[in-house]
Amino acid sequence: MIRVYEYPSEWKEFSEEEIHQRLMQTRVRLRQMGEVDESILVFSFWPDVIMIKEVGDPVILADYLGLNRKELKARTIMAQGRQNTNYSIDIYACHPFFIEGISTMTNGENTAFVPIREFLTSRGNPGYMGYKSDSEVFTHILHYTLYHLKLGLEGYKHIITPLMDEELERHPDGEWLRRLKQSCRPMIIDGPNCVIGCLPDKTLFMVQDSKKLRPGVVGGKPGIFAFSSEMCGLDAVVPDRDKSRDFQPMRCDTVYVGPEREEAKKWNQWERLAHLH
């Protein structure tokens, strides 16, 4: 199921960006090779990342794979315990999704899937492909935001769920945000959706779309935090946390935990944008 590789010797001369591109392209080529006769399934091809996708009862699968072994450790774990429900069952439709150190998973339904998919596939990036699930575009929009637009998590939130025009008139950075909304309109999502994701620096985040009809809660303590669609998920993972500090993001909120895992921080779309000031 898992194979470890060393970089080819000639890669030593490559920049980090070039290495990342080649890793992504290798995964895409392997997937395309395997799709001919279903002989290969590949979900990630990246340093320190293992992605497992299977269909069945999560507890039975975890027992079968021996995931409770003490020698198995992970800094970040992303898990979703159900199959896609909007389309035919396909192993590539299982969450989470991954591209170049970025991963997201979603609870919801993205009814704007088709125009977003058409926009992304027109960008010329070989990694923007597949799309067996309407949720995979969230991962690729985040990739496009970080790597092509050079914007951070704030920009991602404003792209997928921009404020309404009348709200932008009252926002301190409204003029810039209005131009962002106009130029990135094909990537506006339509929900309801709760998105949980991981950035290349291992920052974890949760955002809601403007409808806020999907549950989501974040809580924990220094060293360990959990992002869950249900409160019982937090109770199972971090039962001894300060529950008064749990946070359920609303439509304008982004909650994130940095790579140091010290505290959960909140950001709201009404705040000024740091990179502009």
Q: Can you tell me the distance from the alpha carbon of 178 to that of 159, in angstroms, rounded to the nearest whole number?
A: 10
Q: What is the pLDDT of residues 39-64, one digit of tens each?
A: 999 999 999 999 998 888 888 988 99
Per-residue model confidence (pLDDT) at position 277? 67
pTM (predicted TM-score): 0.94
Q: Can you tell me the distance from the alpha carbon of 135 to that of 141, in angstroms, rounded to the nearest whole number?
A: 10
Kindly state the average pLDDT of the residues 130-137: 91
Q: Are 119 and 104 in contact (CB under 8 A)?
A: no
Q: Please, what are the domains in the chain?
A: 75-276 (3.60.20.10)
Cα→Cα distances 114→100, 119, 166, 176, 232, Å: 23, 9, 27, 27, 34
Cα→Cα distances 31→36, 238, 239, Å: 9, 37, 40
Report the mean per-residue pLDDT for the chain.
92
Q: Is 184 exposed, middle or buried (0-12, 13-18, 19+ CB in 10 A)?
A: buried
Q: What is the pLDDT of residues 222-246, one digit of tens each?
A: 999 999 988 999 999 999 999 999 9
In three-state secondary structure terms, 93 is helix
Residue 105: pLDDT band with limits 50, 70, 90 = very high
Range 91-127 burial, b when 16+ CB lie within 10 A, else e: ebbbbbbbbbbbbbbbbbbbebbeebbebbeeeebeb
Give yes or no for residue 271 having a pLDDT over 90.
yes
Cα→Cα distances 33→40, 108, 202, Å: 7, 31, 30
* The CA-based dihedral angle spanning residues 122, 20, 158, 51, taken in that order and rounded to the nearest 10 degrees: 100
Residue 276: pLDDT band with limits 50, 70, 90 = confident
Residue 25, both tokens: 């392209």
